[in-house]
C-alpha cells in the first residue's frame, strides 16, 4: 500500500521548505534540521511512493509531475456507447420532449451551454452553470459539490430533476422510449435485461467515457516528441 497522495504532498512541502523541525526549535538546537542528503532521500522516497498513482502510459520522467497526461481512450463497450450517444441527445428524457443532456452540454461549444446558469424544462433556471462533460470520466467525483460518485450515478440526476428535465419517473421516460422500435432493438441487443433507469444511465455513462480530449501535450507527457508549436 503506497502512502496516501495527500500525505505525500504534505510531506513534500515540509521537506522542500525545510519546515521541520520548526524554526524555534532550531534556534536552540542549531545543529539540527534536514541535511541535504536526508532531504534528497525523503524526496526520492516520496517519488517512489507516487509511482503507484502515476497515470498509465506516462513517461518515467513525468511520472512524479502534478500534471499527468489524459488517456487516449478508456475501456468501453462499443454497442453501449452507440446507444448512450443517442440517449445523451434524446429529448424524450425530458417531461415535455424539449431538453436533452446535449442541450446543456453541447459538444460543439465545449460541452457546456455558455449560460450563467442552465435553463431546464419551461425555462426554469438552475443554481449553477453547467460544467463540461469532456473528460468528466476522469473526475474523482461528479458535480461541483461531488455529490455523485460516478458518471452513471450522475446521469440519474437530471432526468428526474424538476428544474432540469423534469420527468416524474423512469417509467414515464421508458414508456416513450419503448415506442421507438429501432432504438429498443439496439438497446436490447446490449442490455438483455431490458429497459431500466440503471441501464439507460449506464449507456449514457459509457458514451461520456469516450468524451476525452487528449492533445499533443498529453502525447508529449506520454513520452512522445516535444510539440513544435
Ligand atoms: C438543464 C441543463 C442540464 C441538463 C438537461 C443536464 N445537465 Fe448535466 N449539468 C448541468 C449543471 C448545471 C451541472 C452542475 C450541477 C452541480 O454541480 O450541482 C451539471 C453537471 C453534470 C456533470 C458533472 C460534471 C462535473 O464536472 O462535475 C455531468 C457528467 C453531467 N452534468 C452530465 C449530464 C447528463 C448525462 C445529462 C443527461 C442525462 C445532463 N447532464 C443533463 C446542467 C444540465
**Is any atom of ligand 1 closer than 6 Å to the C-beta of 95?**
no
Ligand 1 centroid to residue 229 C-alpha, Å: 34
Give the pLDDT confidence score for residue 227 in this predicted structure: 54
Domain-embedded: residue 58: no
Give the pLDDT confidence score for residue 226 in this predicted structure: 59
**How many helices (H) and strands (E) in the chain?**
11, 0
Give the pLDDT confidence score for residue 228 in this predicted structure: 52
Domain-embedded: residue 105: yes
| Same domain flag for 106 and 201 | yes
| Same domain flag for 93 and 202 | yes
CATH code of the domain covering residue 195:
1.10.760.10
Take atom 14 of ligand 1 and give the residue whose Cα is closest: 130
Give the pLDDT confidence score for residue 191 in this predicted structure: 98
| Same domain flag for 131 and 201 | yes
Domain-embedded: residue 120: yes
**Is any atom of ligand 1 closer than 6 Å to the C-beta of 142?**
yes
Ligand 1 centroid to residue 131 C-alpha, Å: 7
**Is any atom of ligand 1 closer than 6 Å to the C-beta of 15?**
no
Count the domains in the chain: 2
Along the 229 residues of the chain, how does pLDDT read in single tens digits? 889 989 999 999 999 998 888 888 888 888 888 888 999 999 999 988 988 888 888 998 888 887 889 988 999 999 999 999 999 999 999 999 999 999 999 999 999 999 999 989 988 998 899 999 999 999 989 999 999 999 999 999 999 999 999 999 999 999 999 999 999 999 999 999 999 999 999 999 999 999 999 999 999 999 876 555 5
State the Cα–Cα distance between residues 178 and 148, nearest whole angstrom: 28
Ligand 1 centroid to residue 33 C-alpha, Å: 50
Domain range for 136 is 78-208
Take atom 39 of ligand 1 and give the residue whose Cα is closest: 101
Domain-embedded: residue 213: no
| Same domain flag for 83 and 193 | yes
| Same domain flag for 44 and 110 | no
| Same domain flag for 46 and 102 | no
**Is any atom of ligand 1 closer than 6 Å to the C-beta of 128?**
yes
| Same domain flag for 38 and 95 | no
Give the pLDDT confidence score for residue 35 in this predicted structure: 87
Give the pLDDT confidence score for residue 210 in this predicted structure: 98
Give the pLDDT confidence score for residue 60 in this predicted structure: 86
| Same domain flag for 130 and 198 | yes
Domain-embedded: residue 104: yes
| Same domain flag for 86 and 46 | no
Domain-embedded: residue 62: no
| Same domain flag for 12 and 91 | no
Amino acid at each position: 500500500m503506497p502512502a496516501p497522495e495527500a500525505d505525500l504532498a504534505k510531506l513534500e512541502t515540509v521537506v522542500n521548505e525545510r519546515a521541520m523541525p520548526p524554526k524555534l526549535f532550531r534556534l536552540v538546537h542549531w545543529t539540527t534540521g534536514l541535511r541535504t542528503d536526508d532531504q534528497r532521500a525523503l524526496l526520492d522516497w516520496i517519488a517512489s511512493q507516487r509511482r503507484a498513482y502515476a497515470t498509465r502510459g506516462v513517461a518515467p520522467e513525468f511520472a512524479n509531475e502534478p500534471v499527468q497526461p489524459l488517456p487516449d481512450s478508456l475501456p468501453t463497450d462499443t454497442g453501449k456507447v452507440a446507444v448512450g450517444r443517442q440517449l445523451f441527445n434524446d429529448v424524450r428524457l425530458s417531461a415535455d420532449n424539449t431538453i436533452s443532456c446535449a442541450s446543456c452540454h453541447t459538444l460543439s461549444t465545449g460541452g457546456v451551454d455558455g449560460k450563467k446558469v442552465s435553463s431546464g424544462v419551461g425555462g426554469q433556471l438552475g443554481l449553477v452553470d453547467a460544467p463540461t462533460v469532456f473528460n468528466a470520466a476522469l473526475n474523482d467525483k461528479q458535480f461541483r459539490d461531488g455529490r455523485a460518485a460516478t458518471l452513471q450515478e450522475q446521469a440519474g440526476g437530471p432526468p428526474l430533476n424538476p428544474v432540469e428535465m423534469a420527468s416524474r419517473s423512469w417509467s414515464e421516460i421508458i414508456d416513450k422510449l419503448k415506442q421507438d422500435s429501432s432504438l429498443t432493438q439496439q438497446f436490447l441487443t446490449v442490455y438483455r435485461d431490458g429497459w431500466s433507469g440503471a441501464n439507460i444511465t449506464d449507456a449514457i455513462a459509457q458514451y461520456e467515457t469516450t468524451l476525452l480530449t487528449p492533445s499533443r501535450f498529453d502525447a508529449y507527457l506520454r513520452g512522445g516528441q516535444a510539440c513544435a508549436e
